[in-house]
Amino acid sequence: MKVQTKSKKVNKAWLNDHVNDPYVRQAQAEGYRARAAYKLKEIDEALGLIRPGATVVDLGSSPGAWSQYLRRRLSPQGAAVGELDGTIIALDLLSMEPIEGVAFIQGDFREDEVLARLEAAVHGRPVDVVVSDMAPNLSGISATDAARIEGLVELAVDFARAHLRPEGALVAKVFHGGGYEPLVKLFRSTFRTVKPFKPKASRDRSSETFLVGIGLKP
């Protein structure tokens, strides 16, 4: 009974925070599907990653807030519909409501067949930016969760190595914990510039942060 009561309190606290969250209200007002859009917006505005004409791959895209931001960022008028100066390819295990101008692939990024579909969609073009908001279903067992997170980020890094243009960038969600330092080491061995980034839109109590790698090492 105590566990159930605690769970109810946690759910009530989360709901209260969610309702009163300024980023939630802003997302609703601006037509974004989730507050997560502002995490990518902060990273992009700080580092200038998304530029007109870019080819961008969005991994772990559902429900679509990052793809929405990319869509507006690559629109000459900053609009959610209409002209698009660039290419956006999104992928997720879950379904995603269509976004005008965004090519969506549903499937598990860990499966070779899905990865092959993503590579086919790229059409051999060099990718300017890969953004990854992928996260596994967490078990609550720290060692298991760290391994799952590390595995997904490693896949994103492998894809970036294979498809990014030399000056391209990878943005990947990671979590502080046992698997964090190995991922920083992986990024530093792969990219010339590595920047950890904790957006203001990321909740303070969350252990999530983002690693940004810019410029592939030879």
Residues with a known catalytic role = 173
**Residue carrying structure tokens 């956006």:** 88
Instruction: Determine phi and psi for 95, rounding to 5 degrees.
Output: -70, 160
Alpha-carbon distance of 189 to 43, in angstroms, equals: 21
Helix (H, G, I), strand (E, B) or coil at 89: strand
Q: Which residues pair with 170 in a beta bridge?
A: 130, 213
Alpha-carbon distance of 106 to 92, in angstroms, equals: 5
* CA distances in angstroms from 178 to 49, 153, 161, listed in the order given: 29, 14, 24
Helices (H), the chain: 2-20, 22-30, 37-47, 65-73, 112-122, 142-163, 180-190
Alpha-carbon distance of 110 to 25, in angstroms, equals: 34
